[in-house]
Amino acid sequence: MLKLGVLISGRGSNLEALIKAAEDKDYPARVACVVADIDAAGLEHARKAGIPAVIVPRREFKDRQSFEMAVDKEMRKHGVELVCLAGFMRILTPWFVEQWLDRLINIHPSLLPSFTGLDTHKRAIEAGVKFSGCTVHFVRAGLDSGPIIIQAAVPVLPEDSEEALAARVLIEEHKIYPAAVKLIAEGRVNIHEERVFIAGASAPESIINPAYF
């Protein structure tokens, strides 16, 4: 079983999706610990599942690296093999990224490399794109950068509000994060020249929005 360490700052809905996926005895990964930088609501998901849940308060540390060293210590204490960012609202330093290189993944609510950072759904609607979605990727030092593992797309509807689009994307997030972890745990994910190749994977047929016929 691949041991996961999950970092959160909020409600932890993607953490909950990973915990639920691991309830299947055939799922090849388990959440070993959860760390939050604040007293996040999502910690309750871990506590209910009997998973160690720790707060490492960012404000109690003199700088980012000392904070990250404390987080790193918690990961290693619980034998973590893959770190999963799930709504973790801190930009990690190159030091932390290097410690967990190719063992650190993130989920972002856009089709990267478009709309990095915050307010992704608002920006997608304003840009007039016909598709938005979510991305799971390996983390690099740049903001929301790194080799892409899996993406899910949803249509942007003419009447969409930011909240409506966010809700539709979130449904897909809860599918692809456990899927990405499963692929990694099964040893099917390979990185070559900063591109991800997945053994045995196939691509879907094209999709079009709007449907003009």
Active-site residue (options: 45, 108, 121, 137) = 108
What's 1-100's CATH class?
A: alpha beta
Judged on CB neighbours under 10 Å (0-12, 13-18, 19+), 25 is: exposed
pLDDT digits (tens, 9 = 90+) for 80-130: 999 999 999 999 999 999 999 999 999 999 999 999 999 999 999 999 999
* Residue 76: how many other CB atoms lie within 10 Å: 11
**Identical topology for domains 1-100 and 107-203:** yes
Mean pLDDT of the 184-207 span = 95
The pLDDT of residue 213: 64
Percent above pLDDT 70 for the chain: 100
User: Is 205's pLDDT higher than 90?
Assistant: no
- Residue 206, CA distances (Å) to 34, 170, 174, 209 in order: 38, 22, 22, 10
Q: How many CA atoms lie within 13 A of 175 on its CB side?
A: 12
Q: Where are the domains of the chain?
A: 1-100, 107-203
45 carries an active-site annotation: no
pLDDT digits (tens, 9 = 90+) for 144-159: 999 999 999 999 999 9
Cβ–Cβ under 8 Å, residues 29 and 182: yes
The pLDDT of residue 211: 85
What is this structure's pTM? 0.96
Mean per-residue pLDDT over the chain, rounded: 97
pLDDT digits (tens, 9 = 90+) for 8-36: 999 999 999 999 999 999 999 999 999 99
Q: Domain 107-203 in CATH: superfamily?
A: Formyl transferase, N-terminal domain (3.40.50.170)
Kind of pairing, strands 82-85 and 2-8? parallel
The pLDDT of residue 206: 87
User: Is 65's pLDDT higher than 80?
Assistant: yes
User: Is 38's pLDDT higher than 70?
Assistant: yes
